[in-house]
Amino acid sequence: MSTANVITEQLTAAGRAIEHDSFAVIDREVASHAYTPAQWPIVRRMIHANADFDFNGLTDFHPRAVEAGVAAILSRSTRVVADVEMICVGLSAPRLGHFGMATHQFISDADVIETAKAEGTTRAVQAMRKAHRLGLINGAIVGIGNAPTALIELVRLIHEEGARPALVVGMPVGFVSAAESKDLMALENEVPWVVIRGRKGGSTLVVAAIHALLGLAEAQELTEKTSA
């Protein structure tokens, strides 16, 4: 029985060859790194997403982050809750579908917009609150790539309202509160996280990180089937 990933690979031989060659280039050009064998595929895919080698070093992991993310995916009962639609659109539907995963985002919902205006907050804050009210955050992989206020609100929900995501992929980009929001998330011990330190980030990096986790989950699934 083959142990090579299928669902989480490019669909054509040509596409697979380009992606694998790109990963090989990254491996060659990275002189060294301090990541574990489980963490490195995530960082490498993030570098691949935008050709920025700074993520070798800027990316930081809770000790249980990869384990928690893979376990959540393999449970086939998790979901992705995102701060913006771009993450939901960027994630591969077939890869998510293989693990029974759906995506959710509420940034443009009319009630979210109206409440944000009435309370003087951001849409991202209200979107996180709505996701929590609907019971979607607990056990979810929460991906935040655009709005630092979403990540700050998520930390508040964790501490004040008992929210318990399976994993937080916190990578908001920007110049106002972006670095601070990720530093705040990285102080959390009870909920696993992956963050990018500093100002850099973005939705494409969240997508890359989650795709890497899906690939790790498929590899573990195949290994378990082979050894059964």
Instruction: Tell me the per-residue pLDDT of 44-87, one tens digit each, with 9 for 90 and over.
Output: 999 999 999 999 999 999 999 999 999 999 999 999 999 999 99
17 in a domain, yes or no? Answer: yes
60 in a domain, yes or no? Answer: yes
pLDDT digits (tens, 9 = 90+) for 123-160: 999 999 999 999 999 999 999 999 999 999 999 999 99
Q: What percent of the chain has pLDDT over 90?
A: 89
R_g of the chain, CA atoms, integer Å = 17
43 in a domain, yes or no? Answer: yes
4 in a domain, yes or no? Answer: no
7 in a domain, yes or no? Answer: no
CATH number, position 89? 3.40.50.10230
Alpha-carbon gap, residue 181 to 200, rounded angstroms: 12
| Residue range of the domain that includes 199 | 13-227
8 in a domain, yes or no? Answer: no
Catalytic site positions: 48
Please count the structural domains in the chain.
1
- What is the reported pLDDT for 109? 98
3 in a domain, yes or no? Answer: no
- What is the reported pLDDT for 1? 40
**pLDDT band at residue 3, thresholds of 50, 70 and 90?**
low
Instruction: Work out the burial of residue 194: count CB atoms within 10 Å of its CB; fewer than 13 is exposed, 13-18 middle, 19 or more buried.
Output: buried
Model confidence pTM above 0.75: yes
pLDDT digits (tens, 9 = 90+) for 199-214: 999 999 999 999 999 9
